[in-house]
Amino acid sequence: MHDDFHYYEPRHGHGLPHDPFNAMVAPRPIGWISSQDRQGRLNLAPYSFFNAFNYKPPIVGFASTGYKDSLQNIQDTGEFCWNLATRELAEHMNLTSTPAPREIDEFQVAGLTPAPSSVIEVPHVAESPVSFECRRTQILQLEGADGQKVSTWMIFGEVVAVRIRKTLLKDGIYDTAAARPIVRGGGAADYFEITPSARFQMRRPGWPLDSR
């Protein structure tokens, strides 16, 4: 192996002060998920493994490492909301990551407002400029290459309603940078903010590829 590269096989350990896996798969959107149990008790928690996976129907998903309250709630009720975490809401989002007993309402802990949703029963974060109302489609327990199940579950949901603050629509086009979304980086505490200065544009090439 070339000396310019640090090489490791995860099953043998990475040999570094901090596992670099999360830092390399970055930045990652934050899955700020609101849910509620069958008794209507609310839960709000951020997940660092989140993304969109399909256009029609629109499907998003997040991974829960360990069988947490969000997973239990979604399994029981079939519903959840995704709320966009922005720079303005970063500290509030961080407070909702605190491990807490099931009866604790993270909306209250973080000083956030649960707003009624339109299609589902689960409320969304009123302060967030974008939210998705979702209905569960699948819950999958992940497996390793050896076929052994691991203590991580992937939760997928179809987006059945979308809420966008109108100030983020420029001539009918959603302005990603204007929302100042934050994304997860590596290490124990790294986040990044998406800003207009970081934007560049690149059109997909046609086929056959332009040979100029």
Q: Which helix (H) or strand (E) holds 151?
A: strand 149-164
State the average pLDDT over residues 19-43: 91
Whether 177 is covered by a domain: the verdict is: yes
Whether 136 is covered by a domain: the verdict is: yes
Whether 4 is covered by a domain: the verdict is: no
Six token digits for residue 181: 């979304």
Whether 20 is covered by a domain: the verdict is: no
Number of domains in the chain: 1
* Matching residue, tokens 């090489």: 7
State the average pLDDT over residues 29-44: 97
pLDDT at 211 over 70: no
Q: What is the CATH number of the domain that holds 120?
A: 2.30.110.10
pTM here?
0.91
- Backbone dihedral angles phi then psi of residue 27, each to the nearest 5 degrees: -80, 160
Whether 201 is covered by a domain: the verdict is: no
What domain range includes position 84? 29-195
List pLDDT tens digits, range 110-150. Answer: 999 999 999 999 999 999 999 999 999 999 999 999 999 99
Whether 200 is covered by a domain: the verdict is: no
pLDDT grade for 102, boundaries at 50, 70 and 90: confident
Whether 146 is covered by a domain: the verdict is: yes
Whether 109 is covered by a domain: the verdict is: yes
* Matching residue, tokens 């969304």: 124
Coil, helix or strand for 76?
Answer: helix
Q: Cα dihedral sign for 107, 22, 76, 98?
A: negative
